[in-house]
Amino acid sequence: QVELVESGGGLVQPGNSLRLSCTASGQTFRRSSMAWFRQAPGKEREFVSAISGGGTTYFADSVKGRFGISRDSSENTIFLQMNDLKPEDTAVYYCAAVLLSPLTNKGADFGSWGQGIQVTVSS
């Protein structure tokens, strides 16, 4: 398994931007598909975005056009750039990783998870 540590969360006003980071331990980063999920209070966890080892990306319809995902293999880190944030984006955001897997949006496919980081969008 891979240890994942998220950073960059916080409180932001609607319409503003925030960038989350997720740093992975171990030497399997380059061969891992990585993703972001989120869970709002009282709701089920939902897929946000994913990026394959080769850089292919995938977004949930709710964030398409507003969020971007990228990876820096030299730093074993992925980023979630969140623009034009809305109150409904408020949630705990989780980073996840799966080794040697096709790009997927199913949480059950991911074997490693971070602790989560709070993002609150409020005026």
Mean pLDDT of the residues in the chain:
94
CB–CB of 67/50 below 8 Å? no
CB–CB of 120/12 below 8 Å? yes
CB–CB of 95/110 below 8 Å? no
**Segment 52-95, tens digit of pLDDT:** 988 999 999 999 999 999 999 888 999 999 999 999 999 999 99
Angle at 8 between CA 103 and CA 86, to 5 degrees: 80
Provide the CB-side half-sphere exposure for 70 (13 A, CA).
Answer: 7
